[in-house]
A and B are shown apart, each in its own frame.
Chain A
Amino acid sequence: MLTLCLPTGRVLDEAVEVLENLDIPTLRLRDRGRSLVIQEGDFRFLLAKPMDVPVYVHYGIADLALAGSDVIWETGASLVELADTGRGVCRIVLAGPKKVAARFLGHESRLMGLRVATKYPRIAEAFFADRGIQVEFVHLNGSIEMAPRLGLSDCIVDIVQTGSTLKANALSVIAEIAPVSLKFVASCKSLQLAWDGIKEIIGKFSSSSRKAGDEDGKAV
């Protein structure tokens, strides 16, 4: 039996579709009610907050998972990235109001001491540290976009899909930090000890991507 960890929230439906394309049974998963651990066929599914999914894989509780590349980076979890599902595509960006964006066009000395709101403190820290810019971070867990408007921060580091929330809060993208998508990942232990089962799924992954003709779905 393989244990698969899936992110709850809006990305869960996309994750379930990915599993269906891999011929993994998802009937109970679709009719899950409030259950967080669901067993179906040869699989056990764990439903966890997106930020916690890589942690379950890191500690080997889950053999496999579908996890966003943003949370993989942020948690620093040690795992194996097997394939890009081409789903959940968005970007992690630095965004701010126009006057702050203008400061980024000038010398870096004008950026020192900026206050940055984010739910990705590790990613944000790496971004600014690489550029030698000393900033102050405000760690929030949601609705990051309103922080500059309310004076809590000068700018934000967050994920953006269409950009409409940024626009609604009078923010624009200052810098693209990284593309984000849903990755198919495995625990380092399971890759070695449960390889036969994982290999079978990877095989299905390749053929389902070809069937779907999905150019973004880069599979192993």
Chain B
Amino acid sequence: MSRQPKGTRTLGGREGERIERCRKVFFETFSAYGYQPFYAPGLQLFESAWEKLPPRFRKRLIPVYTPSGEPCFLRADLTLAAVAYLSSHFSPQERPLRVCYAGPLYRAPIPPETDFEKMQFGAELLGWEGQGADVEVIALLLRSLRRLGIHSPVVVLGHAGFLRESLSRLDRSLSSTLTMALLERRYEAFFDALGEAHLPGGADNPLFRLPYLRGNASRTLKEANLLFGETQPLRDLALIVGALEELGLGENLRLDLALARELGYYSGPVFEIFSGSAGFSLGGGGRYDGLLEQYGIVGQALGFGLDLRTVASLSRFEGPTPAVAWCGQLSPRVALERADDFIASGYRIELSWQENREGAIQLARSRNYGWWIDLPACTAYPLDSMDEEETGC
């Protein structure tokens, strides 16, 4: 028996197939819009990454040493590697720059989760400040999910700048207590702290409505404008919502103006992705500038990461029909040529070279395939009835 490290898993069979399909759809959708595939090393140097990682992240790193004695950690984040790559391999004149990536990430799990290895797909768009960038990334993300047959994906939009502005007039300690409560999603603690602060207007202070500002995008924006005035972050969100609605993606949108995602890291619109069939967020992202500054880049970037395994588990797609093709006495050349004909007409073929015809049928049954192909006779049979169905060559 070969044991595997706790917290890791081998992904194969149907699950492996689904993950690969999802990866392919994401890459196809994003690379068609100029996002270049990017492969980062599996290790990151402590000295280059430590200061750039959000503090809550640092406790979850898994340290290792390279054979040359350099202290590193297993890749915990792909954004960092993507920004480092874009800032060092391209000149400022080449921006905006787009990359997409897929690969494993390693972070100490937070219970009740147990896996420390996750597969992630992500994309980053660096160097474009306008809303076009937000709309582009969110629209491509939703298109990919739809292509994967994921039932009604929902993007929940918030704005780091809106939260920061709303809390900025409070004293620093109260503001940080409220921020932490929102970050940890402890709304009860948020209201307790607000109540104890005796703010002007008492319970009518707009901040008491903040966790209620969620749901339908247009309705929420309207209420937020009435309570907080038409601030720049709300105008940003209105433009993004309007553009996504024009693209026919309105039903996939919700707003949550109390959405806090690493407030020190994100600077503008942020989002999380949900699907009715999954219990938790599939991933999320947003606009950031601080990280770029640390790489000497003035401007903003936008990115997201999705848990590929969760997305794969929700995906529904009609792939090619899997079948075992019996080669009989055919020469390999003829067998492969005939198999090509079946593949062209929508089959995924597994060749069976055994002489025994029954053995090939059994193999198809053991694989739970619906079809069996007799290549010498150029005929496909459904396994449940064995009625002759299709001639493919």
Contacts and interface: CB of A to CB of B under 8 A. Distances in A.
A183 interface: yes
B279 to A, nearest CB: 2
Contact of B279 (A60, A84, A218): A60
Central interface residue in B156, B188, B212, by most chain A CB within 10 Å? B188
6 contacts: A58-B112, A83-B187, A122-B111, A189-B274, A193-B154, A193-B276
A37 interface: no
A101 interface: no
Contacts of B42: none
Given A75-B112, A187-B279, A192 B185 contact: no
A81 to B, nearest CB: 4
Contacts of A218: 188, 191-192
Contact of A80 (B112, B156, B187, B215): B187
B32 interface: no
A192 B112 contact: no
Contacts of A79: 185
A139 interface: no
A94 interface: no
A217 B219 CA distance: 30
Contacts of B111: 75-77, 122
A192 B254 CA distance: 8
Interface residues of B, number: 25
A79 B112 CA distance: 12
Interface of B: 110-112, 154, 156, 185-189, 191-192, 211-212, 214-215, 254, 256, 272, 274, 276, 278-281
Contact of A77 (B112, B156, B187): B112
Contact of A59 (B185, B186, B214, B279): B279
Interface in A184-203: 187-189, 191-193, 195-196, 199
A75 B156 CA distance: 26
A192 B279 CA distance: 11
B344 to A, nearest CB: 42
A78 interface: yes
Interface in A18-61: 55, 58-61
Given A58-B279, A193-B254, 17 more contacts: A58-B112, A59-B279, A75-B111, A76-B112, A77-B111, A78-B280, A81-B185, A81-B186, A81-B189, A82-B187, A83-B188, A189-B280, A192-B154, A192-B156, A192-B214, A218-B188, A220-B187
A60 B277 CA distance: 9
A79 B280 CA distance: 9
A187 B185 CA distance: 10
B173 to A, nearest CB: 20
Interface of A: 55, 58-61, 75-84, 122, 183, 187-189, 191-193, 195-196, 199, 218, 220
Central interface residue in B110, B186, B254, B272, by most chain A CB within 10 Å? B186
Nearest to B192: A218
B176 to A, nearest CB: 18
Contacts of A76: 110-112
Central interface residue in A122, A192, A193, by most chain B CB within 10 Å? A192
Contacts of B186: 80-81
A60 B278 contact: yes
A189 B215 CA distance: 12
A192 B185 CA distance: 13
A55 to B, nearest CB: 5
Nearest to A55: B112
Given A189-B279, A193-B274, A193-B276, A82 B188 contact: yes
A140 B212 CA distance: 41
Top 7 nearest A-B pairs (CB, nearest first) are A60-B279, A76-B111, A59-B279, A80-B185, A81-B186, A195-B215, A192-B156
Given A77-B112, A122-B111, A218-B192, A199 B212 contact: yes
Contacts of B281: 188-189
Nearest to B195: A218
B61 to A, nearest CB: 17
Nearest to B111: A76
Contacts of A187: 279-280
A79 B188 CA distance: 12
